[in-house]
Amino acid sequence: MLGQDVRYDHGLVPDLKLFTVLQDPERRLQSLFRVRTEIDLERNLPSLTAVLREAGHLVIQRDINIGMWDHFFSMEFLIWVKARLGMQLKMLQAKEKAGALTEREMNQLAVVEQAHERDAFDLADRAEDAKQIVRGERFYDAELLEGALNTFRETMAYISAAYYPAWLSPRCLKGSVCLFGG
């Protein structure tokens, strides 16, 4: 396989060669970037893993996005967000009392106040249940799935308030590498 064109589900990836660790690391890195740009990794990561393993490479396939979302929707992180919102709220209220809020900070204050009123423990419990829904048999119950997705959106809005004006986008749940978007 080494030195041959790499196959994927729909034919050959043009001009892509696999190289061993002992060969030129820069060319190897360029080849891997070519794979990244020419193969839709969201659907073909298992294929790429198989090709690299067949070529003798040690490959550990891991979806970092899943780990990131697990962390974002965890009790620990949502409690940390609650604390961050509290600190921001105190700072913004002090500036408001002094009459020194900018227009952007007035908008931020409204968002932070609304988010800070939320029960982080309830949200974390519902987010945990939503994760279980999308990972199990309950996924196939349309009403439960819709509720789980709405919980994810609500949780993203809560987290986003702590990073105003940045916004976690539901598009990020689809496996792209974005963290914050509009």
Domain boundaries, the chain: 5-54, 64-174
For residue 63, the Cα-to-chain-centroid distance in whole angstroms is: 10
Q: What is the per-residue pLDDT across 141-182, written as a single tens digit (0 to 9) for each?
A: 999 999 999 999 999 999 999 999 988 876 655 543 333 333
The reported pLDDT for the residue numbered 171 is 60
**113 closest CA partner among 85, 91, 94, 84:** 85
β pairing state of 11-17 and 5-8: antiparallel
pTM beyond cutoff 0.85: no
